[in-house]
Amino acid sequence: MLSKPERVAFILQRLQALYPETPIPLDHKDPFTLLIAVLLSAQCTDERVNQVTPALFALADTPAAMAQLAVEQIRDIIRPCGLSPQKSRAIKRLSEILMDEHGGEVPVDMEALERLPGVGHKTASVVMSQAFGVPAFPVDTHIHRLAQRWGLSSGKSVAQTERDLKRLFPREHWNRLHLQIIYYGREFCSARGCDGRVCEICTTCYPERKHPKRTRKA
């Protein structure tokens, strides 16, 4: 078994080799459209979000235009993403708040983002890191699970996993690493594709692991 510093070094090296480029999987053109796309991605695949957002952004791709839409108009378009009643209300209300309190701009401020309807810490972290380049380490359920399989966090909570990953990895790697882990998980270490004993990173970090790694849910 590798030591934790050895695991961190190997994971960094391997992910950089596999994914030197890290395009954002959600289609967008600016911070506002990214914010909406990330909000829609809750309990929904990125692929489905990318199928839905062109129609929504054709109607409204700015806070000013989105605030003018009826909640029902938004809901009808985003219905395939799931949770459409809550998401449609959040999208309209946050657009109104951006107009009323932020001059029609997405704020470059974590606390201000987290105060917007439908925007939790993870969504705010994605916007800060991917729209504005501010170092952040968004942790979704998949990253939470992989951090446990790779011995990087105990998995007591998503918040704890985020703190552990930020402590282990250099700040300048956070934004890219968030996406690299997502890409790797989807390709090699998915919930059904690996149980901690299958993929290259799992088997390199824990070559003697005999039993499936039981992970805590977020």
Q: Which candidate in 61, 87, 92, 140 is catalytic?
A: 140
122 catalytically annotated: yes
| CA 165 to each of CA 4, 150, 154: distance values in angstroms, whole numbers, following the listed order | 12, 11, 11
The two three-digit tokens of residue 177, written as one number: 């690493």
CA 116 to chain centre: 17
117 by Cβ neighbours in 10 Å (0-12 / 13-18 / 19+) ranks as: middle
Catalytic residue among 92, 122, 164, 210: 122
140 tagged catalytic: yes
What's the chain's Rg over C-alpha atoms? 19
CA distance 142 to 189: 9
Which two tokens mark 25? 């999987």
Tell me how far apart the alpha carbons of residues 199 and 179 are, in angstroms, rounded to a whole number. Answer: 18
Q: Which residues are catalytic?
A: 122, 140
